[in-house]
Amino acid sequence: MKNRPTHNLIDVAMGRERADLCISNVQIADVFNGEFFTSSVLVKDGLIAGFAPDGSPEALITVDAEGSYLLPGFIDSHVHIESSHCSPTAFSDAVVPHGTTTVIADPHEICNVSGLAGLDYMIASSENASLEVFFMVPSCVPATDFEHAGAVLNSEKIEHAIGHERVLGLGEMMNFPGVLNGDEEVLRKLAIAQREGKLVDGHAPGLLGQALDAYSAAGIISDHESETPDELKERIRRGMYVMLRQGSACQNLSALMKGVTKDNMRFCLFCTDDKQPHSILEEGHINYNARLAIAAGLAPIDAVRIASLNAATCYGLHDRGAIAPGRRADFFLTRDLFELSAERVFIAGVEVARDRRILEPSIPVEPKGVGSSVQFKPLGEKQFELPLKSSRVRVIDIIPGGVVTAQGEAEVTLRNGSWVHDPTQDILLLSVIERHHATGYMGKALIRGYGMSHGAIATTIAHDSHNIIVIGDTAEDMHTAVASLKTIGGGITMVKNGKVLASLAHPIAGLMSDSPVSTVHEQLSRMHEIAHTELTVSQAIDPFMTLSFMALPVIPTYKLTDMGLFDVTSFSFVPLEL
């Protein structure tokens, strides 16, 4: 955003001066005309000067692409960096080698724990990373009034933060009931964004008809919660951008591709939302979204458009998103338009990654004001029991492949007036414990579909307020798991027969490790294996990410907060007993 045309750039374009970099013998993606053409690309001062004709002065550095394809750097239109378990610098080192050169990050995870100090840390930490990171100020901290978060970002605080040059607008407006009902505080937040000339991202699962009209009329430009082709078309009909999401837990891209056409694809974007290290390192990043879209029948050049130009246009980043004169020299080379493996990645004309490896790791920034914050009142094993008046109960039913749950019912076993685990039923106890201010709030519910037969898993990653969430079959193991989280200062821990099997510390707000991505990946991979083998967690779900979303009271249907079982469809608490 800071680059501006110079006399030198014009002189290079006119052939009067040598370029800093020339990519020769290359097939260039023309995202404007929708085709590829063969030429050379000249770069000066981090910007594209033009396409080199024969006889141009020799560049300082010339890269012979040997007939490879040159694609504009890919853009993730909506991501929570915190969900990678990595700091912004480590995240940068993970995604850049896959051809992602820009992301639009919503730091509402860390802001729910640390407030604006979390945003400050994310901005500072990403300042010197290879990846270009822009931010949206979180609009809903906390996500609802039905849980306790570590901080509150009201309209006054949002007004204070939204003017930063790397802040593009207001983050996903999850409080769509507040929008539809004209809540004054919600409207003030929207007005601040409008007054500052900033954008507003959406989050409106299942919203249609007049409600969607009102939501769109409020100035909300996008949505990443569409699950069906009809939802995609309805949003595009109202001029909204639809994000084709492919993350570790939410994977909507393939279903949505059935609604993408030549006429509406300019309103489609790619995003990951939440993606863990093993998914990034093994699958890829936005290039994986594009690869899936191509496999679903989309032309490669159109997948490239969605991954670059569309996102740049949506967010007003007109200095990138295409290989054209005057734009940033953010691009990558690939030999295969179907695999889209990034062989050499350039950001602002500098090669930063080669053969899926970062060339110079980013330098981490010391986290300030974003400690792990694991504070709760002393808990005994007795508090992890579930007294019930009736054996007929409501159950959170996990639906694999996403974070939407179903409203389940079950007949469970009681002993001395409390629930006990029945090995013949795939039903476990779930608890959410407030961990920011030691208020003593503790919600309990039953959940089905996790698959664990014996043991407990606990984590301080519990969207969006990030209290402690723990799942298990016995009070002993659940108590041990939560105590372990306190010892390591937040993160993830796994217990069986009263013993800790494995843990991963997250000293940054209880959300992120301070280790390199390779270390985090290695530890998480081992923990995934333990979860699926020793604890028998269902192979159909991600054991940690699925668990972390069971506390999110803005995604249907049943979810659990530290205040109790919540029905998102009625936006109210419901009793466990039927």
Q: What is the CATH number of the domain that holds 125?
A: 3.20.20.140
Distance separating alpha carbons of residues 316 and 318, to the nearest angstrom: 5
Distance separating alpha carbons of residues 354 and 345, to the nearest angstrom: 6
Instruction: Tell whether 27 is covered by a domain.
Output: no
Beta strands in 138-240 (DSSP E): 167-173, 199-202, 222-223
Give the relative orientation of helices 116-126 and 88-95 as an angle to the nearest 10 degrees.
50
Are both 94 and 218 inside the same structural domain? yes
Q: State phi, psi for 212 to the nearest 5 degrees.
A: -70, -35
Please state, in angstroms and as integers, the Cα–Cα distance from residue 241 to each residue in 203, 216, 222, 270, following that order. 12, 11, 4, 10
Q: In Å, how far from its chain's centre is CA 404?
A: 16
Q: How many domains does the chain have?
A: 2
User: Is residue 235 within 8 Å of 212, Cβ to Cβ?
Assistant: yes
Instruction: Tell whether 23 is covered by a domain.
Output: no
Say which residue the tokens 């790397």 belong to: 166
Instruction: Tell whether 191 is covered by a domain.
Output: yes
What range does the domain containing 207 cover? Answer: 81-324
Q: Which one of 304, 324, 344 terminates a domain?
A: 324
Q: Which one of 324, 349, 366 terminates a domain?
A: 324
Instruction: Tell whether 175 is covered by a domain.
Output: yes
Strands 241-245, 268-271: pairing is: parallel
Token pair listed for 98: 């896959």
Instruction: Tell whether 330 is covered by a domain.
Output: no
Are both 457 and 313 inside the same structural domain? no
Are both 266 and 401 inside the same structural domain? no
Instruction: Tell whether 465 is covered by a domain.
Output: yes
Token pair listed for 129: 């990373």
Query: pTM, whole model, 2 decimals?
Result: 0.93
Are both 564 and 426 inside the same structural domain? yes
Instruction: Tell whether 523 is covered by a domain.
Output: yes
Are both 111 and 236 inside the same structural domain? yes
Are both 93 and 207 inside the same structural domain? yes
What does the pLDDT profile of the chain (578 residues) look like in tens digits?
A: 445 557 899 999 999 999 999 999 999 999 999 999 999 999 999 999 999 987 778 999 999 999 999 999 999 999 999 999 999 999 999 999 999 999 999 999 999 999 999 999 999 999 989 999 999 999 999 988 899 999 999 999 999 999 999 999 999 999 998 999 999 999 999 999 999 999 999 999 899 999 999 999 999 999 999 999 999 999 999 999 999 999 987 889 999 999 999 999 999 999 999 998 989 999 999 999 999 999 999 999 999 999 999 999 999 999 999 999 999 999 999 999 999 999 999 999 999 999 999 999 999 998 988 987 899 999 999 999 999 999 999 999 999 877 889 999 999 999 999 999 999 999 999 999 999 999 999 999 999 999 998 999 999 999 999 999 999 999 999 999 999 999 999 999 999 999 999 999 999 999 999 999 899 999 999 999 999 999 999 999 989 989 999 999 988 899 999 999 999 989 899 999 99
Are both 316 and 170 inside the same structural domain? yes
Instruction: Tell whether 424 is covered by a domain.
Output: yes
Max alpha carbon distance in the chain (Å)?
89
Are both 99 and 216 inside the same structural domain? yes
Q: Which one of 324, 355, 371 terminates a domain?
A: 324
